[in-house]
Amino acid sequence: MLYFIVPLKSRAASHDWERVSRLCRRTLASLYQQTSPQFRIFLVCTDVPTGLASHARLEIVQENFPPPAPNKQAQIADKAAKVRRGLIAVRERGGGFVMGVDADDLVHHDLAALTAAQPQTNGWMIRSGYSYSEGSRWLECHNDFHLRCGSSHIIRLAPEELPDDLAGPAENCFVLRHGHHGIAAYLAGIGRPLGVVPFPGAIYVKMTGENNTGPDLSGIGLRATVSKVLRTRPVTPAIRKAFNLKPL
């Protein structure tokens, strides 16, 4: 079983709750369209997104998390606490494959099929993926996606490797301790190397808003401009379908 953990910021911490809710609903719709039924979603939140309908694969884990202070460190800690709560839910169900998904990112519809076909694998990293600016007709391809985005690792975890309460520091759970920059190297170092998802596995959604006429190349040097042009691809109907990349 593949468990998607989706931590959602609170209404109090959001500048535009309606927009946050729309982004979250689109992310969940991306998860719902998995081609294998062997998955479950834990949406961990203080406030339930507006307009959210029930779904057989969705479980809302609602806790009264205190609103974080308006600084990056506090917001990271708030997100980590919600991921930890999701990991507790996975432990309660006996462990399995776990993937954290930011509440505005999108994933490929074959991830659950990949885990179902190889249940004894350590897991995978998403090395190939896309970044996307909301409203654009263009994507940027990345071959180091797992270093750019947190929605990038699938890890098989036994119950004893998962937290059983919200108390205690992140250091007590290696998934939280290492984060997406270091978790693959850590697992390789203890003899549990991750495989590589054999297709572009996720889209990191950015809100910078590139225009719709082409990739934004302003403000960067010639070498970076050429590199970005080579990585840029149009948003095709096939990509929209595979990731549920639809307008908000």
User: Domains of the chain, with CATH numbers?
Assistant: 2-243 (3.90.550)
Which DSSP state fits 207? Answer: -
Task: Please state the pTM of the whole predicted model.
Answer: 0.90
60-70 in b/e form (b: 16+ CB < 10 A) is bbeeebeebee
Confidence (pLDDT) at 104: 97
Confidence (pLDDT) at 212: 37
Q: Residues with Cβ < 8 Å from 178, sequence gap 6 or more?
A: 185, 186
Confidence (pLDDT) at 137: 94
Which DSSP state fits 171? Answer: G
Stronger pLDDT, 71 or 89, i.e. the higher one = 89
Task: Compute the average pLDDT of residues 93-106.
Answer: 97
94 touches 150 (CB < 8 A): no
Does the pLDDT value for residue 174 go beyond 80?
no
8 touches 63 (CB < 8 A): no
203 touches 236 (CB < 8 A): no
24 touches 103 (CB < 8 A): yes
d(CA 28, CA 32): 6
d(CA 31, CA 33): 6
The SS3 assignment for 96 reads: strand
Does the pLDDT value for residue 215 go beyond 80?
no
- According to DSSP, the β-strands at 39-45 and 129-133 are unpaired
Q: Which residue has the tokens 């947190």?
A: 150
The SS3 assignment for 190 reads: coil
